[in-house]
Structure 1
Amino acid sequence: MRLLNGLLLLPTVLRTAIAYSTLSDDSLRTIPSAGADFDIKTGAILAPILQPRVPGTPGSTAVLEHLADFFRNNLPKWKVSFQNSTSTTPLSNGREVPFHNLIATRDPPWIDREGEVGRLALVAHYDSLIHPTGFIGAIDSAAPCAMLLHAARSIDDALTRKWEAMQAEAESSDFSGLEMDEHKGVQILLLDGEEAFQSWTDTDSLYGARAMAEEWEQTVYAASSTYSTPLASIDLFVLLDLLGSPNPTVPSYFKTTHWAYQHMADLEFSLRRLGLFKSAPAKDPDRPSAVDDQFFLHEAGKADTDQWLGGYIGDDHLPFMARGVEVLHLIPAPFPRVWHKIDDDGEHLDMNTVEDWALLTTAFAAEWLELEGFMTADGGGKVRERDEL
């Protein structure tokens, strides 16, 4: 990603908010910790991603296989597919470089045709920068990818319980169908080719995102479908990037998704209140009072007349946002110190912060999918108590 000079025009009309139910304290306590799976040397989720993974290289292939195998081996109810493309790059001497986007989807089991499900899209890029040589890209974006895998696993059993209960209720009543607002699914999008090969331009960046957004806009569902295209079925595009350094401050970038930002900020407050976060809030150096500690999401009270930075940061959301998709961009401002430096590696991750982002992302997905009452301790871990953290 990079900082852009221009400001993209913001949509002027808020999209109608879909149903959203908050999680109780008891449900928040059941969300499992990533724990050993995020160990940078041996962790089953994170460690295999911490390697150079430039598109078209063996490292990229190995990481893509790891990501796909995670769903195939651990989450068999998720549908894994790929959106593939090729492109020349400024360094490829005319050779077509392959780019492979991974899509993992979980929809209600009663859906039997495309175009009937609105989805929460949780997104990160898995490729790494080509220079400096040996660049790992732990915050950029190995750790965000690991966070999304953890979130998918953590909500999977609750989704199964919810949808089984809904089907059983429908079958036992006179109502033969299920309400349309319950046709909500979730997708994990792990995108390739976000980084520029030489220098950031409209054509040397966002290779995978550009290809997917274009293809999904042109893939048309049946005329009678609820959603016209795969692109239109994205209710919210939540992009995680540059997460894993200590003391991040993430602004609310877009007015039209500030309501979603506020929901996530409320979750952060609740998780900290319950003692479930491991990291401490950052101190504002200009306002040292304890009441002015900065949370990750510190702009929940932002006013319409305040400055909105959406459009200044180039990232994978741009091709989707240009086509009307609503975006919640979770990227710190300012960027972390290690951004695009060789020391953006596993050793420089702040693991408390990494685990907290994983917890917060999971909680947000669970609220979006209305999993209150279905999050139980046997869904991935025992209930966590304050003194265990």
Structure 2
Amino acid sequence: MLANRWRTRLACLLLLSSDLALAARPRPHALKRRNPSYSPLSDPSLEQLVALSSLDDALDYNDPKSLLAKILVPRTVGSANLTRVQGVVEGHFRKLGWHVEKDAFDDDTPYGRKFFTNLVFTHDPSAPRRLVLSAHLDSKYFETHPEDQFVGATDSAAPCAMMLDLATALTPWLDGRKKRVQEAGGEEGFDGQGETLQIVFFDGEEAFKEWTHTDSIYGARHLVEKWSETDSSPSAIRSTPRSPLRRISHLVLLDLLGAPNPLIRNFFPNTGWLFDEFLHSEERLGVTGYLWDGFEGQAYTEQKGKLGVRERSFFVPRASGQMQGWAGQIEDDHVPFVQQGVPVVHLISVPFPSVWHTIKDDASALDLPTIKAWALILRLTVAEYLGLDPTGRLQNANVKRNKGELFDEAG
């Protein structure tokens, strides 16, 4: 069954890839340079970043009070469990003071009409651009027992908990940066910030039966359609993108993370520089000893290249040439965004974890040190992307990318 689904999914993606190659779409984003706010985090602030919040509060699945433990339940589309989990997530962001948007809709499925809800949380909704982090919150539906108890620990409970941790940790820094920008009279021609952080929890990523263009990624497809609608309200001081979709600077999608020894590849040349920033975050955290207990400096450098050890690097460097064999072969919530020209970084373990879509994708498949390492990598990369250093000091960013990774303003 899994083999059949993989072949179906791969065939659909190959057709999609050929369609995209034949019909290049205009990119609705002006990204001639790295995000203007980008600033490498100062050394004193790195220690503060790691200590911003307790990783265990969100990620220790052995503690029933943790956020991840509350997500580790069967949570299929439309179920009471999913409603409860969505309530936990929404309550978390409301407590942090973020703007809450619920994208509720219904759609036809192989089991009739189903009700879906995407959850969208924005730190500063007045900012014209968004860096979007995303994952799907639903778990796969199975008809029979015991498969109907599938909790999708890597798929995608752990990634969702990582995003909750990210929001907890970075909210004070996001608040601080917003205040500094407002006190300085705004940036980039606006009264406030040019870019903010947005976190999206998709509903209905999983297929109910076999993965097809209609039985999959229900929430992502609906959100792209909704966000493509033009906003007719008056623009700000400078021209503001006229639709929510065009306000996305980059979308980062997390999936199948939380098991030890993941391998993450770059799939999109135009966002290769941002893929590299995740890799650089891992390197800096590892060398300074924040990533793995007992490993720092040269000890970390030697350990990260070994096979079969927890502390190995998560990322396959782009220079290795291992991207081409997988490019465009994985269908996920990012696909409708890519079709509309949104720059995407897809953080997904390839090959998939061995427990993928089996009842064994439960807490026993997870590795807490690995999950914590992911959380810190996300914290550092997002903090640098948005220039959140609380010292307020801007450092010269050493941008290493090819001209082919840049694209001009269009549309």
The TM-score normalised by the length of structure 2 is: 0.80
Aligned 1:149-164 pairs, distance under 5 A: 149-164=164-179
Report deviation, 1:368.
1.0
Distance 1:135 1:282, change over 3 A: farther
Distance 1:163 1:223, change over 3 A: closer
Report which of the two has the higher share of helix: 2
Deviations 1:203-262 (A, max 9, x none): 000011111011111242436351110000010000000000000010011101001001
Aligned partner (choices 295, 304, 323) of residue 281 of structure 1: 304
Aligned 1:1-389 pairs, distance under 5 A: 3-5=9-11, 6=14, 8=17, 9=20, 15-17=31-33, 18-19=35-36, 20-31=38-49, 32=51, 33-40=54-61, 41-73=63-95, 75-76=96-97, 78-92=98-112, 96-107=113-124, 111=126, 117-131=128-142, 132-170=147-185, 177-180=186-189, 182-222=193-233, 224=235, 225-278=239-292, 281=304, 283-284=306-307, 294-302=312-320, 307=324, 309-374=326-391
Aligned partners of 2:255 and 2:138: how far apart in 1? Answer: 12
> Are the equivalent residues in 1 in contact too, given 2:58–2:162 (CA < 8 A)?
no
- Secondary structure of the residue that 1:100 maps to in structure 2? strand
Distance 1:308 1:361, change over 3 A: farther
Aligned partners of 1:260 and 1:39: how far apart in 2? Answer: 28
Report deviation, 1:362.
1.2
Distance 1:26 1:49, change over 3 A: same
One-letter code of the match for 2:218? Y
Distance 1:44 1:302, change over 3 A: same
Aligned partners of 1:149 and 1:327: how far apart in 2? Answer: 20
Aligned partners of 1:233 and 1:90: how far apart in 2? Answer: 34
Aligned partners of 2:232 and 2:340: how far apart in 1? Answer: 17
Distance 1:153 1:228, change over 3 A: same
Aligned partners of 1:324 and 1:168: how far apart in 2? Answer: 34
Aligned partners of 2:101 and 2:377: how far apart in 1? Answer: 26
> Are the equivalent residues in 2 in contact too, given 1:265–1:297 (CA < 8 A)?
yes
Aligned partners of 2:181 and 2:92: how far apart in 1? Answer: 28
One-letter code of the match for 2:47? R
Aligned partners of 2:223 and 2:378: how far apart in 1? Answer: 23
> Are the equivalent residues in 2 in contact too, given 1:248–1:282 (CA < 8 A)?
no
Report deviation, 1:337.
0.8
The root-mean-square deviation of aligned C-alpha atoms, in Å, is: 2.5
Work out the percentage of aligned pairs sharing the same amino acid.
38
Report deviation, 1:349.
0.5
Deviations 1:268-289 (A, max 9, x none): 100100111138636347xx9x
Count the aligned residue pairs: 351
One-letter code of the match for 2:179? E
Report deviation, 1:329.
0.2
Deviations 1:52-74 (A, max 9, x none): 0101110111111011011112x
> Are the equivalent residues in 2 in contact too, given 1:159–1:374 (CA < 8 A)?
no
Q: Point out where structure 1 has 5 or more consecutive residues left out of the alignment.
A: 171-176, 376-389
The TM-score normalised by the length of structure 1 is: 0.84
> Are the equivalent residues in 1 in contact too, given 2:176–2:390 (CA < 8 A)?
no
Report deviation, 1:84.
1.1
Distance 1:67 1:258, change over 3 A: same
Aligned partners of 2:318 and 2:45: how far apart in 1? Answer: 23
335-344 or 29-38: bigger deviation: 29-38
Aligned partners of 1:373 and 1:70: how far apart in 2? Answer: 23
- Secondary structure of the residue that 1:81 maps to in structure 2? strand
> Are the equivalent residues in 1 in contact too, given 2:58–2:164 (CA < 8 A)?
no
One-letter code of the match for 1:231? L
> Are the equivalent residues in 1 in contact too, given 2:256–2:352 (CA < 8 A)?
yes
One-letter code of the match for 1:214? E
> Are the equivalent residues in 2 in contact too, given 1:238–1:329 (CA < 8 A)?
yes
Aligned partners of 1:373 and 1:71: how far apart in 2? Answer: 22
Aligned partners of 2:271 and 2:81: how far apart in 1? Answer: 35
312-321 or 153-162: bigger deviation: 153-162
Q: Point out where structure 2 has 5 or more consecutive residues left out of the alignment.
A: 294-302, 393-411
One-letter code of the match for 2:319? G
One-letter code of the match for 2:71? I
Distance 1:338 1:282, change over 3 A: farther
Distance 1:135 1:283, change over 3 A: same
